[in-house]
Structure 1
Amino acid sequence: MTDTTRQKAEAALKDIEDVTAVVLPEPSSALVPLEKANKKVSAEIEKRMAEIDMENTQSIIEFGSAAQAELQVISQDMLAGVRNKDVGPAGDSLRNIVTTIRGFSISEMDMRRERSWWEKLLGRMAPAAKFMARYEDVQGQIDKITDNLLGHEHTLLKDIKSLDKLYEKTLEFYDELALYISAGEAKLAELDDTIIPAKEAEVAGAPEDQGVIKAQELRDLRAARDDLERRVHDLKLTRQVTMQSLPSIRLVQENDKSLVTKINSTLVNTVPLWETQLAQAVTIQRSAEAAKAVKSATDLTNELLTANAENLQEANRMVRKEMERGVFDIEAVKSANATLIATIEESLAIADEGKAKRAAAEEELIKMEAELKETLAAATSRGTASAHNMASSVPGG
């Protein structure tokens, strides 16, 4: 909920206390006749009796209608206000808040939960990201609904005040009807007891040429009297209906008062509590994630300490072994010495073998040289003999 909405809700609390503190007066069901009324009420009844003109039928028909004029204006203003307003029921907004909060799944708060294969297949967000996105969505919905609730609250406050005025004017109309009914009954009693008997006596004592006219006046007077009686009866029925409407107005008003009180309590107390709980849920999950990160860092540190200790032990073992060794291992010296001796002996053997091969080669060379000389000498002798024979056989030689 925004700060502006919260401030407006808190500011409306005084108005709510004022309207709920209003005590509406109860209507009086008793009719006070003229002869039993006090001086002030008697004057009011006589004032309304004066509105009746028995020779004017229209005055009888309209008798008591002026009392409803102001009430009708107020009712029409309220109806005009209803037509001009375009607001939904406040109860729907309250239910929407509950639905929004309930839609905030507790399972979604577990950020450590691994995504299911179905969520991975559909490419859904990780629980942590989904949780934050869901929280932001819920917060936006709460802000929107609380703004609507604030509008309903102001509307209901206006309705309650209008109903106060309507109840007041209806009660005034109800009391006014009692005066008109008392005035009508007093007029009827006056007609029955005084005016009509006087008119009857006037008809009985009228000259013959005026008898018909006087008789017609008597009939008209009696007809007007009956009209007045019917009008008074209608006023009594109207008063009864009006008396029934007063509790209805109060019932609607009490419902509106209860609802506006509930809305204000929701805005001032419940919604901030829900937001606090949601914020705590987010903080708790963030703390869990931080603890998880700290645990991972601690585990890594412990692993590094263990690994370093093991590496140190191994390195120390190797270093100490190397430090305790001589420059040359005796086994390596023995091996090198044996190899050296074998190499020297092998060199001597190879040298002896080479010497023998060279001696044999020298003998072979001498033998080959002698053979070569013999061959060359033989070749020279054969060449000289051939040349002599060729010279002897040429003519003129």
Structure 2
Amino acid sequence: MSDTVRQKAEHAKSLVDEVTSITLPEPEGEIVPLEQADAPVSAEIRARMDEIDISDTGSIVNFGSGAQAELQEISQAMLQDVRNKDVGPAGDSLRGIVTTIRGFSVNELDVRRERSFWEKLMGRAAPFAKFTARYEEVQSQIDRITDDLLAHEHTLLKDIKSLDLLYDRTLKFYDELALYIAAGEARIAELDAQDIPAKEAEVDAAPESDQVMKAQELRDLRAARDDLERRVHDLKLTRQVTMQSLPSIRLVQENDKSLVTKINSTLVNTVPLWETQLAQAVTIQRSTEAAAAVRDANDLTNELLTANAANLRESNKMVRQEMERGVFDIEAVKKANADLIGTIEDSLRIADEGKARRASAEEDLKTMEAELRETLAAARARRDGVGDTASAAAPRS
């Protein structure tokens, strides 16, 4: 709520207290007859009796109507407007502000909630920025509705004061009707006790030529008396209806007062409470997001510590193993030494085998050479020519 609206609401509260503290007077039920009235009331009744002219039908028909003129001006100007126009929009504004708050879902705060199929299809997420925009929209709606409520409140306050005036004038009209009724009944009593008996005596005392005229005057007087009696009866009915309208006015006024009190309580107490709750919801979500970020950072730190410790252990194991190894592995040296010994032994064996084969070959060569010489010698001994040719090719020992 803006500071301006808050100041207006606080100012309206004093006006509400002022109008709700007014106590309206209650109407008096009994009509005081002329003979029982005190001097001031008796004078008022006699003044209204003087308005009756028995010879004028119009004065009888309009008897007591002048008291209603001012009341009609007030009631026609405001009652229909108050009942049908002003109360409805105020109630609509109250319902509107409730609907606005109810439409604000705190579940939208959860940015980690599972998105609906429609949100996934439309590519909609639930970021905190979107919720903040929604909060600002709700806040603007609350401000707009509170302005409307203030306008309705001032209108209702004006109507309550007008209803006070209407009630006061209606009560005066109610009391005025009592005076007119008392005046009419007193005049009827005078007619019954004085005027009509006097006119009857005139008819009886009049000569025969004037009796018809006097009898008509008597009938006119009695007719006027009956008209006055019917008019007084109508005034009694009007007074009864007026008496019923007084609680109706008060009922409308009490409803307006209750609505004004409710509006003012909503503006002064409820709306700030709602705004506080909304602000708390935003703050709580911010704290939740901050806590989630801290938790994620702590989880990452723990994961890094665990991973680094495992990596350090593995790396240290490898390094220490390599550090503890010699330049050459003893197994490799043993194998190389065995292979070297084998190589030397193979070389010696092969050399011995070669030496033996060569020695054997030399023996074979000597044998073959001896055999060849023997053959050649035998050939020369035959002297067939072959030996000469062969001996020429054979080497000499």
TM-score tier (shorter)? 0.7 to 0.9
Query: Displacement, 1:134?
Result: 3.0
- Over 3 Å counting, the alpha-carbon distance change for 1:156 and 1:172 in structure 2 is same
In the other structure, the counterpart of 1:363 is none
Query: Displacement, 1:85?
Result: 6.4
Residue deviations 1:113-155 (CA, integer Å, cap 9, x gap): 1324442112223253443333233223322222222222222
Mapped contact 2:109–2:126 kept (Cα < 8 A)? no
Q: Secondary structure at the match of 1:89?
A: helix
Query: Displacement, 1:23?
Result: 1.3
In the other structure, the counterpart of 1:392 is none
- Over 3 Å counting, the alpha-carbon distance change for 1:65 and 1:189 in structure 2 is same
2:109 and 2:197 map into 1 onto residues whose CA distance is 93
In the other structure, the counterpart of 1:248 is 248
1:123 and 1:314 map into 2 onto residues whose CA distance is 45
1:82 and 1:241 map into 2 onto residues whose CA distance is 20
Residue 186, structure 1, aligned to residue 186, structure 2? yes
Mapped contact 1:188–1:225 kept (Cα < 8 A)? yes
In the other structure, the counterpart of 1:9 is 9
Residue 20, structure 1, aligned to residue 20, structure 2? yes
Query: Displacement, 1:90?
Result: 2.1
Which segment is superposed worse, 28-37 or 265-274? 265-274
1:113 and 1:24 map into 2 onto residues whose CA distance is 59
Report the residue type matching 1:302 in the other structure: N
In the other structure, the counterpart of 2:171 is 171
**Normalising by structure 1, what TM-score?**
0.76
**Normalising by structure 2, what TM-score?**
0.76
In the other structure, the counterpart of 2:376 is none
In the other structure, the counterpart of 1:97 is 97
Mapped contact 1:111–1:128 kept (Cα < 8 A)? yes
Residue deviations 1:212-238 (CA, integer Å, cap 9, x gap): 333332222222111111111110110
Query: Displacement, 1:166?
Result: 0.9
Which segment is superposed worse, 285-294 or 91-100? 91-100
2:268 and 2:94 map into 1 onto residues whose CA distance is 14
Q: Secondary structure at the match of 2:25?
A: coil
Query: Displacement, 1:60?
Result: 0.9
1:211 and 1:103 map into 2 onto residues whose CA distance is 90
Query: Displacement, 1:279?
Result: 1.3
1:121 and 1:55 map into 2 onto residues whose CA distance is 93
- Over 3 Å counting, the alpha-carbon distance change for 1:218 and 1:305 in structure 2 is same
1:330 and 1:31 map into 2 onto residues whose CA distance is 135
Unaligned runs of 5+ in 1: 343-397
Mapped contact 1:115–1:127 kept (Cα < 8 A)? no
Query: Displacement, 1:330?
Result: 7.8
In the other structure, the counterpart of 1:370 is none
- Over 3 Å counting, the alpha-carbon distance change for 1:113 and 1:226 in structure 2 is same
1:25 and 1:12 map into 2 onto residues whose CA distance is 25
Report the residue type matching 2:276 in the other structure: T
Mapped contact 1:111–1:285 kept (Cα < 8 A)? no
Query: Displacement, 1:199?
Result: 1.9
Identity of aligned residues (%): 76
In the other structure, the counterpart of 2:145 is 145
- Over 3 Å counting, the alpha-carbon distance change for 1:73 and 1:330 in structure 2 is closer
In the other structure, the counterpart of 2:30 is 30
Report the residue type matching 1:8 in the other structure: K
In the other structure, the counterpart of 1:383 is none
Mapped contact 2:86–2:155 kept (Cα < 8 A)? no
Q: Secondary structure at the match of 2:113?
A: coil
1:8 and 1:194 map into 2 onto residues whose CA distance is 68
2:86 and 2:39 map into 1 onto residues whose CA distance is 50
- Over 3 Å counting, the alpha-carbon distance change for 1:117 and 1:70 in structure 2 is closer
Mapped contact 1:181–1:236 kept (Cα < 8 A)? yes
In the other structure, the counterpart of 2:54 is 54
In the other structure, the counterpart of 2:160 is 160
2:191 and 2:299 map into 1 onto residues whose CA distance is 110
Query: Displacement, 1:84?
Result: 12
- Over 3 Å counting, the alpha-carbon distance change for 1:212 and 1:167 in structure 2 is same
Mapped contact 1:9–1:268 kept (Cα < 8 A)? yes
> Which aligned pairs between 1:324-343 and structure 2 lie closer than 5 A?
none
2:329 and 2:192 map into 1 onto residues whose CA distance is 158
Query: Displacement, 1:189?
Result: 0.4
> Which aligned pairs between 1:119-268 and structure 2 lie closer than 5 A?
119-268=119-268
2:248 and 2:85 map into 1 onto residues whose CA distance is 22
